[in-house]
């Protein structure tokens, strides 16, 4: 039997539910701990139809004036960025024996599924080209790792690129591997570049006063002025559970009723906008 390739209604036996506020908040909090973007950028509440965000592109310019002379007139300039939510989703299959008591099922969702959504969200922001209404940082200015001097070649060079665009680096997203480079980097008098933060679970530490958040979605580091970026979430995480659907896994169809299994579908609608790509940089291999 061929795999179904078109959308079909196979979920008449599905029970859809939205988690209670406390549990939903806990799930998104766990997702936030997995996502560097969610930890570094400001969050906005995102309507399902999208959101227009005004962006200041220029400030008024003041000048010295003589006594009784007319004062100059100079206005701010503005642009508009549109944030359109995109759906991130995953289905997990488990046996009914595993999920026979609902608290155990919820615990599994809390531990695993939010992390999958968070990683996919970070991957979209850092590694995939921008799409309509959803910005990307993959095309930001790059610093090439020309030597083993992490401080000189990466951090200072990157921060200088951002400063040249009238922005200030206030956060770094790093891969687990690149974090080790930051940990071992020291200046001329052996002071460490990365200062660990033992009291805040959101960040692994600080570099020149900027927060450092870890993400598995990248291989090196992105840095920038995160006040120039925002992410949005539509409502809460949505969960649907089915015991009777037939699920396409990509290579085969799984009949849940026949196999005594259940499918747990988790999805979230997320958005991201960047007001100024020049406020960010990324590290690339030599």
pLDDT in tens, the chain (286 residues): 444 444 333 333 445 556 666 666 777 777 777 899 999 999 988 888 888 877 776 778 888 998 888 888 888 777 788 899 999 998 888 887 777 776 777 777 667 777 888 899 999 999 999 999 999 999 999 998 766 778 877 888 899 999 999 899 999 999 998 888 888 888 777 888 888 876 666 788 899 889 999 999 999 999 999 999 999 988 777 778 888 888 888 778 888 988 888 888 888 899 999 989 999 999 987 6
Cβ-based neighbour number of residue 3 at 10 Å = 10
Q: How far apart are CA 282 and CA 262, in angstroms?
A: 42
The sign one gets for the Cα dihedral 116, 121, 127, 129 is positive
Cβ neighbours around 249 below 10 Å, total: 10
- CATH number where 49 lies: 3.90.1690
Read off the tokens for 24: 């939903």
Is residue 137 a part of any domain in this protein? yes
Indicate the number of domains in the chain. Answer: 1
Residue 4 lies in a domain: no
Q: Is residue 65, in this structure, part of any structural domain at all? A: no
Q: Which two tokens stand for residue 248?
A: 């396409």
pLDDT for 8 equals 35
**pLDDT confidence of residue 112:** 76
Kindly give the pairing relationship between strand 205-207 and strand 86-95.
unpaired
Domain-embedded: residue 220: yes
Count of Cβ atoms closer than 10 Å to residue 130 Cβ: 17
Residue 145 and residue 136: Cα distance in Å, rounded? Answer: 22
Amino acid 22: pLDDT: 67
What is the pLDDT at residue 210?
Answer: 92
Residue 193: predicted pLDDT: 86
CB 18 within 8 A of CB 234: no
Domain for residue 10, yes or no?
no
Considering the domain boundaries, does residue 86 fall inside one?
yes
Domain annotation covers residue 68:
no
- pTM score of the predicted model: 0.81
Which residue range forms the structural domain that includes residue 160? 15-55+77-284
Output the pLDDT for position 147. Answer: 67
- pLDDT of 230 reads 93
Q: For residue 2, is it within any domain?
A: no
Pairing state between β 194-196 and 205-207: antiparallel
Query: Per DSSP, what are the bridge partners of residue 142?
Result: 282
pLDDT at residue number 11: 39
């Amino acid at each position: 039997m061929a795999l179904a390739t078109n959308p079909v209604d196979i979920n008449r036996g599905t029970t859809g539910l939205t988690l209670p506020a406390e549990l939903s908040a806990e799930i998104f909090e766990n997702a936030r701990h997995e996502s560097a973007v969610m930890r570094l950028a400001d969050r906005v509440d995102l309507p399902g139809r999208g959101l227009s965000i005004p962006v200041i592109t220029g400030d008024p310019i003041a000048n010295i004036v003589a006594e009784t002379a007319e004062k100059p007139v100079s206005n701010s300039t503005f642009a508009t960025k549109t944030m359109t939510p995109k759906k991130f989703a995953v289905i997990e299959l488990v046996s009914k024996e595993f999920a026979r008591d609902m608290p155990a099922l919820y615990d599994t969702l809390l531990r695993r599924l939010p992390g999958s959504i968070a990683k996919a969200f970070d991957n979209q922001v850092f590694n995939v080209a921008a799409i309509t209404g959803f910005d990307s940082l993959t095309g930001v200015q790059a610093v090439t790792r020309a030597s083993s001097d992490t401080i000189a070649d990466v951090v200072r060079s990157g921060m200088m690129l951002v400063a040249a665009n009238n922005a200030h680096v206030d956060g770094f997203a790093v891969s687990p591997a690149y974090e080790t480079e930051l940990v071992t980097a020291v200046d001329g008098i052996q002071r460490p570049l990365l200062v660990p933060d033992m009291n805040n679970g959101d960040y692994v530490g600080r570099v020149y006063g900027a927060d450092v958040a870890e993400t598995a979605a990248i291989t090196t580091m992105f840095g920038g002025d995160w006040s120039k970026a925002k992410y949005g979430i539509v409502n809460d995480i949505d969960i649907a559970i089915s015991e009777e659907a037939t699920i396409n896994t990509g290579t085969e169809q799984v009949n849940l009723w026949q196999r005594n299994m259940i499918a747990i579908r988790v999805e979230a609608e997320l958005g991201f906008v960047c007001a100024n790509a020049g406020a960010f940089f990324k590290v690339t291999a030599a």
